[in-house]
Amino acid sequence: MAAILVNGHAPFWPRWRAAVASPLVDPSADRDVPLKTLLRWSEALSGIARTGLGFTESLYEQERFEEILKVAADIRAEADGEDENPDYAGGLVQEWMDTVGKGVPGYITPKVAVGAAVGNDKGELLLIQRADSGIWLYPTGWCDVGYSAAEVVVKEVEEETGIIAEPVRLIAVLDGLRLGFTRVPLYSLLFYCQAVGGELAPHPLETRDVGWFTRETLPQPLVGSERWGEHVFAAINGERRDVLYDSVRQPMWRGESTTS
């Protein structure tokens, strides 16, 4: 191929040849991708595509966004262990297409949930064992329409544990997908609360068990305590800290965050 000159300078083709002439795929170079990474890729692509479908009037762009949804569904099928099921990815695409709205209502955003780090006079933390998965975590719940975030906290704690809690302050805003808490894109608003009444009574459908724990007696499996544990027990012990949040990644669309 003839050399390509730019303004009389040296040819640039050799600089890009490696990128264009990609080597063959070596099966021995296969690697495992973390589940939370697959979920993040799938949900991010799905959100971009559905938002695009909600705003575009171009048939060409609609077709491209639908193709992106199919790629997102393939990634999600891999994450869910359904890559051998020929109907699974197609069902996901249809489910996502059914949620596409028009304009602003079609803009896909994370769901919002609350968490309650409830402490008592003994310096203990209230934890529940979830009925669906068996994991331990502080009480959590989706934000219901018509309630403030703090009101949902009070409602969820009493429903799940029997304890009456008083919200004191917001102590963390966490991205559930990034931390591997959930398969659903969500922001969790974590409140430090004080127990002011009630008795332990696990919800018959939502919780297997409930109890008070010190930092030395935390139950297992416990989700994310390496991220929120120090911050929560600092609040219980009367220490005031800035709100904990996920740091900005560089670049933002990839990589892992570090503690802020």
Contact criterion met (CB below 8 Å) for 130 and 91: no
pLDDT digits (tens, 9 = 90+) for 20-62: 455 666 667 777 888 888 999 999 999 999 999 999 999 999 9
pLDDT digits (tens, 9 = 90+) for 102-146: 999 899 999 999 999 999 999 999 999 999 889 999 999 999 999
Q: How confident is the model at residue 258 (pLDDT cuts 50, 70, 90)?
A: very low
Show Cβ contacts of residue 207 under 8 Å, excluding neighbours closer than 6 positions.
128, 129, 130, 131, 160, 161
Indicate if the pLDDT at residue 178 is higher than 90: no
Q: How confident is the model at residue 252 (pLDDT cuts 50, 70, 90)?
A: confident
Question: What pLDDT is recorded for position 1?
Answer: 41
pLDDT digits (tens, 9 = 90+) for 82-107: 989 989 999 999 999 999 999 998 99
What are the CB-based long-range contacts (under 8 Å, 24+) for 33-42? 34/180, 35/79, 35/180, 36/177, 36/178, 36/179, 36/180, 38/75, 38/76, 38/78, 38/79, 39/76, 39/79, 39/177, 39/183, 40/177, 40/178, 41/72, 41/75, 42/72, 42/73, 42/75, 42/76, 42/79
Indicate if the pLDDT at residue 212 is higher than 80: yes
Which residue(s) pair with 141 in the sheet? 114
Which residue reads 């769901």 in tokens?
111
Question: What pLDDT is recorded for position 177?
Answer: 85
Q: Of 228, 259, 219, 42, whose CA–CA distance to 140 is shortest? A: 228
What are the helix (H) ranges across the chain?
Answer: 13-20, 35-55, 59-79, 88-97, 149-161, 176-179, 225-236
Which residue did the predictor score with more confidence, 94 or 184?
94
Residue % of the chain over a pLDDT of 90? 70
